Amino acid sequence: MCGACLTPVLSGEPDHRDEVQADEERAANTQITICCSRSRSAELVLGL
């Protein structure tokens, strides 16, 4: 994974399944790697 698809999270809770972001970045829930991660919440709004 390269991190090229890092996308801003506007609302919702992502389920991070990447090795690109540091633990602190994942905990902040401000970005998601859309190539391999998904949503934990019913809705995940991204800034595309």
- 16, 45, 13, 30 alpha-carbon torsion, rounded to 10°: 70
Q: Provide the residue ranges of all domains of the chain, joining segments of one domain with +.
A: 6-46
pLDDT of res. 20: 93
Topology (CATH level 3) of domain 6-46: Ubiquitin-like (UB roll) (3.10.20)
pLDDT digits (tens, 9 = 90+) for 1-48: 788 999 999 999 999 999 999 999 999 999 999 999 999 999 999 999
pLDDT of res. 28: 96
pLDDT of res. 44: 98
Asked whether the whole model's pTM tops 0.75, one would answer yes
Q: Which letter, b or e, does each residue of 16-48 get, where b requires 16 or more Cβ atoms within 10 Å of its Cβ?
A: bebebbeeeebeeeebbbeeebeeeeeebeeee
pLDDT of res. 5: 94
